[in-house]
C-alpha cells in the first residue's frame, strides 16, 4: 500500500476544515506546529490502494511572511514537499481566492484546485466554466460542495493522478514585460541560492520585500540582496509605486482576467439572504445591538449550561468522595490519594469541562456560520485601544465564562506578539470561578453595588495593563485584514469534530499539569507544613495586605481554582459567617487579590501550551506580584477612608 501526503491550502472560511473532516472523519489529531502557536490538524484515510495522510494548513491569503500562519504554510509546502497540495477555493469569491492560487503555482507546488461551495455560487446566479479554468491555470479543477461531501472522491482521484504524473502542467503567471525583465534579472542572481524555494518565486518574494526570504538569501549571498534592492528601486521609479504593491497589483490583474474569462452570470443578481442579514449585522447602529444580543446569548448559554453541568458534577463527585472514604476510611493515605490524584481530575471534569464543552460547540458553530468575522470587524476600533484588533474581543468576552478556552481562543491572533498580549489580557478577566468569590464575599456581605464596583475596577485594570503590555512588548501593531464570508448553516459533523478535537487537546495538555500541582500541594499538606507556610507568608498577608494569617495557605490553594479560596477560608476559620473573621476592608482586599492573581493551574497549563513555559511563567509571576501590590495599596487607601 502506497502512502501519500496531501496538504489542504486556502483562504480562511472557504470550507477547508469541512473538506478535511469529510476526508479524515475521526482519524485526526490536533496539536501545534513545532515551535509555533499555530494549530496543526492531521488525519488519514484509506483510498483504493493508498494510505493518505492529510494536513490541514492554516487559513491564509498569501504566501508572504506577514503572519506565522503564512510562514508555516509555505515552509511546509516548500520544505516538507507534500505529494499534492489541494487548494480549496471559494467559488463565490473566485477572483479574490485566485490571488493565493497564483502564488502556489509560482511556488511550484503539485496542485489540484477544489472549487468549493458551488451550490452557493449557483444560488447567487453565477456559473464557472471548469474546462476553461483548468486551461487558464494548467491544473485540475474539481467542483465540490464539501458540506454535503460532493466532489470529495474526485479530489482524491485527481490527487493520485498528480502523483502518477498524469496531471496537467501548471502555467506560471506572467507579469507585465517591464516587471518580468527585472524578475528574470534577479532570478539569474539568486539561482542556486536558497535552493529550497524556486529561483523565480524567491526573486518575486525579494522584490515584494519579504523579510523572511531576504534574510534566508542574505545569509548565503549578500550580493543578491543588494541586487534586489536596486531592482526594487528601478520598479518603483518605473511604475510610481513600491515593487511590493506593483507585484500585488499584477497578481490581482491576472486573477481578474482569469475570472472574466471563466465566470458569467446566469441571471440578474439579487441580494442574497446573507446580504440582507449584513444590512443589519454590519450596520453602525443595529450591528452593535445584534452583536450585544448574540454575545449576551452566548455568554448566558455558556454560563447556564456550564453552571448546570458543573453543579451536578460536583454533587455527583461529592457522593463518589463519600463512597471513597467509606470504602478506604479517613486517614492520611486516603486523603492524599483523593486530594492529590483524584481531586485534580475532579476539578478539571467538574469545573473546566462543563464550560469548555458549550464554549467549543458555540465557537465551532459561530466559526462555521460566518458571524465571528463580523464581530471582529465591529469591535476593531475599541480593541485597538489596548493594542489588539477586533478578533481579540471573542476570547476576551468568553473569559468571563472560563479563562482556559479564552486563552485557547487567542489562536485567532495573527502574530506571536498579539497572541501574547491577548493571552495576558484574557487572564485578567474574572472567570466564573472568580465571580463565585466576588459575589460570595463582597456581594453577600457588602452588597451588589460594591461587587459591581469590583468589576468596574477590574475593567479599568484590564485597559491599563493591556495598554502597558502593548507599549512594553516589542513589535508593531497589526491592522485587521480578514475576509467576511457569507452566512451559512454549519455542518453538524464538522461542529462536533472540531469540538471533540479541541476538548481532546485540552484534556491531554491540562489534566496532567493539574494532577502534578495537586500532588505537590497535598505533599505540603501531608508534611504538616501549613502552619509554617502561614508563618512564612505572614509578612505579606498580615503586614502588607492586612489580612488574617490563615489567608496565606488559602491563597496558595487558590492556584488550583479560584472558588477554592472561599471554600477553604470558610473551612479553616470554622464558620460561614465571614464577618466574624474579616472586616469590610479585608473582604474587599481579599477579593481584589484573588481576582487579580493568575486564574488557576488549568489556565497556566494552557498558557504554557499557547505561548511557551517562559512567557507563561513571566505572566504568572507578574500577575501574582501585581495582585499583591494592588491589594496592599487598596488596604491602606480603604483603611484611611
Query: For position 318, what pLDDT does the model report?
Result: 82
Least confident span in 34-38, 286-290, 494-498? 34-38
Is the pLDDT score of 118 beyond 80? Answer: yes
pTM passes above 0.85: no
Is the pLDDT score of 130 beyond 80? Answer: yes
CA distance 104 to 63: 8
Query: For position 378, what pLDDT does the model report?
Result: 80
- DSSP letter, residue 350: I
Pick the residue with more confidence: 629 or 527? 629
Of all residues in the chain, what percent carry a pLDDT higher than 90? 24
Query: For position 173, what pLDDT does the model report?
Result: 87
Of all residues in the chain, what percent carry a pLDDT higher than 70? 88
For 90-104, how does the pLDDT look when each residue is reduced to its tens digit (9 = 90+)?
A: 998 899 999 999 999
Q: Which residues pair with 89 in a beta bridge?
A: 115
CA distance 242 to 556: 57
CA distance 9 to 94: 15
Pick the residue with more confidence: 73 or 512? 73
- CA–CA distances in Å: residue 207 to residues 235, 285, 592: 9, 43, 54
- Domains in the chain, start-ordered, CATH in brackets? 2-163 (3.40.50.300), 177-265 (1.10.287.1770), 286-513 (no CATH), 516-640 (no CATH)
Query: For position 473, what pLDDT does the model report?
Result: 78
Q: How would residue 392 be classed by pLDDT, with cut points 50, 70 and 90?
A: confident
Query: For position 299, what pLDDT does the model report?
Result: 65
Residue the block writes with cell 446573507: 274
Pick the residue with more confidence: 538 or 530? 538
Average pLDDT, the chain: 83
Cell numbers of 332, please?
492520611
Pick the residue with more confidence: 459 or 345? 459
Is the pLDDT score of 76 beyond 80? Answer: yes
Query: For position 586, what pLDDT does the model report?
Result: 94
Which SS3 state, helix, strand or coil, does residue 278 take? helix
Is the pLDDT score of 340 beyond 80? Answer: no
CA distance 486 to 368: 10
Closest CA to 62 of 71, 50, 49, 52: 71
Closest CA to 567 of 580, 547, 553: 553
What is Dmax (Cα atoms) for the chain? 87
Backbone angles phi, psi at 120, to 5 degrees: -70, -35
Pick the residue with more confidence: 443 or 390? 443
Average pLDDT value for residue range 131-153:
92
Is the pLDDT score of 485 beyond 80? Answer: no
Cell numbers of 512, please?
496532567
Which SS3 state, helix, strand or coil, does residue 425 take? helix
Query: For position 440, what pLDDT does the model report?
Result: 78
Pick the residue with more confidence: 199 or 296? 199
Is the pLDDT score of 260 beyond 60? Answer: yes
Least confident span in 342-346, 421-425, 456-460, 496-500? 342-346
Cell numbers of 73, please?
504554510
Q: How would residue 622 be classed by pLDDT, with cut points 50, 70 and 90?
A: very high
CA distance 24 to 35: 25
Residue the block writes with cell 532570478: 187
For 152-175, how does the pLDDT look when each residue is reduced to its tens digit (9 = 90+)?
A: 999 999 999 988 887 677 788 889
CA distance 54 to 45: 8
Closest CA to 606 of 593, 620, 596, 621: 620
Q: How would residue 306 be classed by pLDDT, with cut points 50, 70 and 90?
A: confident
Residue the block writes with cell 492520611: 332
Q: What is the DSSP string of 183-206?
A: HHHHHHHHTTSSTTS-HHHHHHHH
Average pLDDT value for residue range 455-475:
84
Q: How would residue 550 be classed by pLDDT, with cut points 50, 70 and 90?
A: confident
CA distance 374 to 380: 10
Query: For position 145, what pLDDT does the model report?
Result: 92
Q: At what angle do helices 243-262 and 177-190 cross, to 10 degrees?
A: 120
Least confident span in 178-187, 262-271, 520-529, 595-604? 520-529
Give the CA radius of gyration of the chain. Answer: 28
Amino acid at each position: 500500500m502506497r502512502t501519500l501526503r496531501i496538504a489542504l491550502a486556502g483562504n480562511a472560511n472557504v470550507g477547508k476544515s469541512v473538506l478535511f473532516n469529510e476526508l479524515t472523519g475521526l482519524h485526526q489529531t490536533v496539536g501545534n506546529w513545532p515551535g509555533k502557536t499555530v494549530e496543526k490538524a492531521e488525519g488519514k484515510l484509506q483510498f483504493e490502494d493508498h494510505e493518505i495522510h492529510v494536513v490541514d494548513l492554516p487559513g491564509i491569503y498569501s504566501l508572504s511572511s506577514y503572519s506565522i500562519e503564512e510562514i508555516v504554510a509555505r515552509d511546509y509546502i516548500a520544505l516538507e514537499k507534500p505529494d499534492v497540495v489541494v487548494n480549496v477555493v471559494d467559488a463565490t469569491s473566485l477572483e479574490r481566492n485566485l490571488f493565493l492560487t497564483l502564488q502556489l503555482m509560482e511556488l511550484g507546488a503539485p496542485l489540484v484546485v477544489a472549487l468549493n461551495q458551488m451550490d452557493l455560487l449557483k444560488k447567487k446566479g453565477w456559473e464557472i466554466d471548469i474546462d476553461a479554468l483548468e486551461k487558464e491555470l494548467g491544473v485540475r479543477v474539481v467542483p465540490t460542495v464539501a458540506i454535503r461531501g460532493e466532489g470529495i472522491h474526485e479530489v482524491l482521484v485527481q490527487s493520485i493522478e498528480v502523483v502518477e504524473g498524469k496531471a496537467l502542467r501548471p502555467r506560471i503567471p506572467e507579469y507585465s514585460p517591464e516587471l518580468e525583465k527585472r524578475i528574470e534579472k534577479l532570478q539569474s542572481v539568486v539561482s542556486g541560492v536558497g535552493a529550497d524555494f524556486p529561483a523565480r518565486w524567491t526573486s518575486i518574494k525579494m522584490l515584494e520585500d519579504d523579510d523572511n526570504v531576504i534574510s534566508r538569501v542574505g545569509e548565503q549571498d549578500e550580493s543578491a540582496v543588494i541586487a534586489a534592492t536596486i531592482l526594487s528601486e528601478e520598479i518603483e521609479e518605473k511604475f510610481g509605486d513600491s515593487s511590493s504593491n506593483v507585484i500585488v497589483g499584477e497578481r490581482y490583474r491576472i486573477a481578474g482576467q482569469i475570472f472574466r474569462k471563466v465566470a458569467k452570470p446566469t441571471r440578474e443578481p439579487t441580494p442574497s439572504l446573507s446580504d440582507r442579514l449584513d444590512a443589519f449585522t454590519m450596520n453602525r447602529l443595529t450591528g452593535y445591538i445584534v452583536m450585544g444580543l448574540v454575545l449576551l446569548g452566548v455568554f448566558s448559554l455558556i454560563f447556564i449550561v456550564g453552571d448546570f453541568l458543573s453543579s451536578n458534577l460536583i454533587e455527583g463527585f461529592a457522593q463518589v468522595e463519600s463512597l471513597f472514604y467509606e470504602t478506604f476510611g479517613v486517614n492520611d493515605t486516603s486523603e492524599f490519594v483523593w486530594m492529590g490524584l483524584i481531586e485534580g481530575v475532579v476539578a478539571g471534569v467538574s469545573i473546566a469541562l462543563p464550560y469548555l464543552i458549550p464554549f467549543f460547540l458555540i465557537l465551532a458553530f459561530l466559526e462555521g456560520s460566518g458571524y465571528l468575522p463580523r464581530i471582529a470587524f465591529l469591535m476593531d476600533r475599541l480593541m485597538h485601544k489596548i493594542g489588539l484588533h477586533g478578533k481579540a474581543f471573542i476570547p476576551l468576552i468568553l473569559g468571563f465564562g472560563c479563562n482556559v478556552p479564552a486563552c485557547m481562543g487567542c489562536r485567532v491572533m495573527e502574530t506571536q506578539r498579539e497572541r501574547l498580549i491577548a493571552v495576558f489580557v484574557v487572564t485578567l478577566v474574572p472567570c466564573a470561578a472568580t465571580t463565585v468569590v466576588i459575589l460570595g464575599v463582597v456581594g453577600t456581605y457588602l452588597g451588589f453595588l460594591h461587587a459591581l464596583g469590583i468589576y468596574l475596577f477590574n475593567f479599568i485594570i484590564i485597559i491599563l495593563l493591556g495598554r502597558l503590555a502593548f507599549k512594553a512588548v516589542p513589535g508593531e501593531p497589526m491592522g485587521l485584514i480578514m475576509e467576511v464570508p457569507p452566512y451559512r448553516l454549519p455542518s453538524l459533523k464538522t461542529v462536533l469534530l472540531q469540538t471533540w478535537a479541541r476538548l481532546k487537546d485540552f484534556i491531554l495538555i491540562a489534566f496532567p499539569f493539574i494532577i502534578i500541582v495537586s500532588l505537590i500541594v497535598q505533599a505540603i499538606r501531608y508534611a504538616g507544613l501549613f502552619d509554617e507556610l502561614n508563618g512564612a507568608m505572614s509578612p505579606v498577608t498580615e503586614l502588607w495586605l492586612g489580612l488574617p494569617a490563615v489567608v496565606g495557605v488559602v491563597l496558595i490553594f487558590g492556584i488550583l481554582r479560584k472558588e477554592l479560596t472561599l471554600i477553604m477560608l470558610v473551612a479553616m476559620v470554622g464558620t460561614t459567617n465571614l464577618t466574624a473573621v474579616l472586616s469590610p476592608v479585608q473582604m474587599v482586599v481579599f477579593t481584589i487579590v484573588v481576582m487579580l492573581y493568575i486564574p488557576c493551574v488549568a489556565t497556566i497549563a494552557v498558557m504554557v501550551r499557547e505561548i511557551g513555559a517562559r512567557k507563561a511563567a513571566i505572566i504568572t509571576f507578574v500577575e501574582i506580584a501585581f495582585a499583591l501590590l494592588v491589594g496592599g495599596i487598596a488596604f491602606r487607601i480603604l483603611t484611611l477612608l
